[in-house]
Every structure is written in C-alpha cells, then in structure tokens.
Structure 1
Amino acid sequence: MSTADEAGTGGREPEALSHEELLEVTGATLADLLGCDPLMSDLPRGVTPEEVGAQVALEQGQSMTVRVVRADGEELAVVVPQRGATVGDLKSAIRRHVTLTMARDRRPVTVSWRYVWRTYWLYHDVQKLKDDGALLAEFGIRNKSKVKFVKRLHEKGTP
C-alpha cells in the first residue's frame, strides 16, 4: 500500500493550491466555524487572533467591555483586561479598535494619535483620565462603563 493510499487520496496526488486559494479556503472555513459557535458568532469576518483571544477572555470574565463615546456621538465597544488595566491600556485598545475598523472598511486614512490625545481628554463620569499609569478600577470603570472623549480646554499657565 502506498503513502497516497494511506492518506485516502486513492493513489492520486492531492491538488496543489496557490497561496491566495489556500487563504480563501482557510478564511471561509474559519468563518463557518466561528459562525456556528454561539460565543464567537458575533465576531466580524476577517477576525484577527487577538480579537478571538479577547472574545474568549471576555466570555470567561477575564476582560471587560468599555463603551467609548466619541465626540461625534458614535459609540465604540472596546475590550480591556478585567484586572490591572490602566488608562494607557484603554488608549491602546481604542487605537487597535479604530485601526481594525478602518482597515475592514478599507479607509486609507491614518490617525495621528498624538494629536487625538493632545486635543481630547477621556472622561468617566466627571473624572478626567489624565495619568496613563492609573488603574481603570481607581476611576470606578467596570464592565459596560462609559468613557467619553471631551475636547480639552486650555488651562491657565499651559501652552
């Protein structure tokens, strides 16, 4: 018995696929598998491994969803770790979320995050999230809390 017979191909060589065809088949199979799973069915097409990991952590209670309200009123659902998450982690998660969304929509716009953080504060209730090293829990931010972008006003003595 030959190796091909053992592999179940009936003695013929398996069909060779190009890289693009293999990516397409793999993507379709992954989409089918994720669509059938009740925990993963709400993930977008073309999901990244990081997003799958975040969704699993969310379902296991290891992460939380923070609702970020942009200045134009649009709301973003951002996933950050449940324990030990900092303001800097939240900002990184916002950056990742916006970048992935823009890539999926095929928008070639680049965002100057330095400009964004110089122009807007993140607020939770009436608290300004100034320190990137501060824990989100110190501000009372929990699962499904809302954080808003608020335009910075020039303070006396600052440029």
Structure 2
Amino acid sequence: MESSTTGEDNFNVEGYNSNNIKKARLNSTLAALLEDPILADVPKKPSLSDVDTLISLELGSAMRISVLKLDGTSIDVAVLNIATVKDLKLAIKQKVNEMEQSKMGHRHISWKHVWGNFCLLYHNEKLHDDKAALQGFGIRNNSKVQFVPYVVSKNAGRHSKRRKHRFFHGLNKRA
C-alpha cells in the first residue's frame, strides 16, 4: 500500500511540475510575441477588451485617434467607430494610467480635476457632451484631438472655488 501512495505522490508532483513547465513556456512565448514590432501596440498585460479593440481596429470597425498633450507629445488610443466622447476619455485615462504605471509605479491622477480644467478639442470645436458620438464631430480614423485649458465663461453661472471661499469667509466674519 505504501508503494501505491508513493506512486500517487510522485504523479501529483510530476503533474504539478509539468503545469509549471507549461505555464513557463506559455509566458515565454507570450513575452516573445509581445516584443515583436508588429504587435508593438498591444499592452504588456492586455485585457480582453484591449485585444477586442485591437482586433476591431484591424477589421476596420474601430479607429485610432492621436491625442496631442499640452507638452507637445501625443498618445494614440483606439476606440470603436460608434464611440462617444466619454469612451474616448476612458481610453485616454486607461492609456495614461498604463504609461504612468510602467514608468513610475503607482501614481494617482485626479481625472475629475483633469476634466474639470481641460477639455478635448477637434477642429476648434470643444468636445463637452460626453454622450455625443465622435463621428458627429467628424472624427475618423487617424484624427488628431488635442487637450486645451477649459475656462468656464462667466455667463455659465458658476463661480470659481476661490470666489466661493471668499464669499463664505466673509459671512463668517460678519457673524
């Protein structure tokens, strides 16, 4: 009986080792594929949605958009042809967070602050409405969109935080 249990233990250990060997081979093959220049646009740790978007891009049902940042550099994002402004913002957020992770490790970017102070511009038209389709603005494959500072007009009825602070600060002094 002891010999049969020893044989089963060896089988489990061998099975475990063969699984590790298979995983190591798969990881090395995947790493070699991702270093291929043809697959340069695939992220290092691709999710299913990333791969789906890249396949759609190859099939023509997605578009690549260049986003020009304020420092003059640009990033490329891929979104579906039926994407909205919100989808583009999410793709930019994902791409920038991925780039920051690979360069600097964990770093938090306040996207509420970014979208509160900057907006996207395409052919002198600001992309304000998150629900609007990109194709409605004329954005197609290989279009260039840029970040611009977003200043709320005085007619919009919103005050800056500084004015609110001064307003409430003045009320406290009178009391």
1:139 paired with 2:140, answer no
Q: Is the 2:120–2:127 contact (alpha carbons within 8 Å) kept by the matching residues of 1?
A: yes
CA offset at residue 109 of structure 1?
1.3
Equivalent residue for 1:156? 154
Provide the aligned length of Structure 1 versus Structure 2: 145
Rg comparison, structure with higher value: 2
What's the TM-score, normalizing by structure 2?
0.71
Q: Is the 1:27–1:46 contact (alpha carbons within 8 Å) kept by the matching residues of 2?
A: no
Residue of structure 1 aligned with 2:85, choices 84, 87, 91: 87
Q: Which runs of 5+ in 2 are unaligned?
A: 1-12, 160-175
Q: Distance in 2 between matches of 1:22 and 1:132?
A: 45
1:31 paired with 2:31, answer yes
CA distance 1:14–1:24, shift in 2 (3 Å): closer
Matched AA of 1:62:
S
Equivalent residue for 2:42? 43
What's the TM-score, normalizing by structure 1?
0.78
Deviations 1:96-121 (A, max 9, x none): 11111122224321110000000001
Matched AA of 2:96:
V
CA distance 1:15–1:68, shift in 2 (3 Å): same
Q: Distance in 1 between matches of 2:14 and 2:92?
A: 48
Equivalent residue for 2:14? 13
Taking only the aligned residue pairs, the percentage that are identical comes to 34
1:61 paired with 2:60, answer yes
CA distance 1:144–1:93, shift in 2 (3 Å): same
- Between Structure 1 and Structure 2, which shows a larger proportion of helix residues? 2
CA offset at residue 25 of structure 1?
4.3
Q: Is the 2:66–2:76 contact (alpha carbons within 8 Å) kept by the matching residues of 1?
A: yes
Q: Which runs of 5+ in 1 are unaligned?
A: 1-11
CA offset at residue 29 of structure 1?
1.6
